[in-house]
Amino acid sequence: MTIAGWTSVAIVVALILSASNDLPMRLALPGAMVWYYPLGILVWLACALDNRFELWRHTRARILLVHAVGALVGLGVWMIAMISIARLAIGPRYWNIVFGEWWMFQLMSNAMVYAAGVGIGLMVGSSDRERERERRQAQLEVLAREAELTAVKAQLQPHFLFNALNSILALIEHNPAEAKRMLTRLSSLLHSVFDRLDEPLVSLDRELEIVREYLDIERIRFGDRMTFTIEVDRSARQIAIPPFLLQPLVENAVKHGIEPFSRPGAVRISGGLSDSRLQLSVVDTGPGIHPTDASPHGRGLTLTRQRLQSVYGTGGAVLRSEHGDDGFTVTLDLPVQADDR
């Protein structure tokens, strides 16, 4: 690209020389190339040294001073070289033929070409550094997000296991047979859960399978005190979401909407697509908890909120909670992602 640029300059100069001095292009073009290619090498060398010694880290005044001194030295060496080449190629009358009364104009015009070349080279170098900085920043953000997501996942696993084992312990004393059946189902459920937790995305349908298995286990524990329904549009079931996303919300619904009360309670999960976004709701018949609750009871919502930010970024997904006449509702509003696996 650099060679092409300086070749273009040489062609333009050769055309000017050919038109103004009636000089054939076969003579004007080689002369212009001999003249400007070494100038291009000087420009490349100035930009390479600027990058090598990282002059861009210094003050603007120092950068200008260093490049001004470099230009004087470089153009001086270049001018001596051009004079020597002209002397050898033309003979003693080289000065009048090549330079004549226009030597100062030639020197100034070539100094301007040199300065323009260095300026363009420095701008290109600055642009390349900025792109590299943005690339590294983006890479660091991805790594930080992955690390944060891994940390959240590490918290989710014991959180789920703790709640599930508590459910089994509650059955052991008064119904060992049900506790054994529940433990068998839990073993199968944990195998499925922890396998899928390492996947970046799963279909909503697969996520709902885990939720249904978990609620079946809890229904064994609570008997007639608990019912649940899952009503999600078929069109939404193949949408990809982070695995284990609904589980903490469903656990909270059971823990705070069913467990504390002797009366019958219900958990309802619903969802569908709206304006190219996936909306999911988990509703229970209890009073619920405040989403900013910092106690262990609010940990499921806290983990879910952290995970949404890690996966979708700030503002990409929304988690809302509200108290209503029929209970406590947690709603997820997610951007639609295709499951490409």
Q: How many residues does the chain have?
A: 341
Least confident of 54-63, 223-232, 306-315: 306-315
Rounded Cα gap, residues 260 and 222, in angstroms: 11
Which tokens go with 237? 């079931």
Select the more confidently predicted residue: 296 or 189: 189
* pLDDT above 60: residue 293: no
Residue 240 near residue 234, CB atoms below 8 Å: no
Predicted confidence at residue 311, as pLDDT, reads 80
Least confident of 13-27, 62-76, 147-161, 309-323: 147-161
3-state secondary structure of 1: coil
Which range has highest mean pLDDT (59-68, 167-176, 183-192)?
59-68
Rounded Cα gap, residues 301 and 246, in angstroms: 10
Angle, helix 247-257 to helix 299-312, in steps of 10 degrees: 160
Place 294 in a pLDDT band, splitting at 50, 70 and 90.
very low
What distances in angstroms separate CA 99 from CA 79, 93, 95, one per listed residue?
11, 10, 5
Place 98 in a pLDDT band, splitting at 50, 70 and 90.
low
Place 208 in a pLDDT band, splitting at 50, 70 and 90.
very high
Which tokens go with 316? 């990409």
Could you count the other beta carbons within 10 Å of the beta carbon of residue 115?
16
Which tokens go with 159? 């959180």
Three-class DSSP labels, 190-209: HHHHHHHCCCCCEEHHHHHH
DSSP β-ladder status, 265-274 and 202-203: unpaired
Place 278 in a pLDDT band, splitting at 50, 70 and 90.
very high
What distances in angstroms separate CA 165 from CA 30, 100, 158, 263, one per listed residue?
86, 98, 10, 23
* pLDDT above 70: residue 212: yes
* pLDDT above 80: residue 307: no
Predicted confidence at residue 325, as pLDDT, reads 74
Predicted TM-score (pTM) of the model is 0.52
Select the more confidently predicted residue: 273 or 200: 273
Q: What is the DSSP string of 259-304?
A: TT-SS-EEEEEEEEEETTEEEEEEEESS----TT--SGGGHHHHHH
Place 21 in a pLDDT band, splitting at 50, 70 and 90.
low
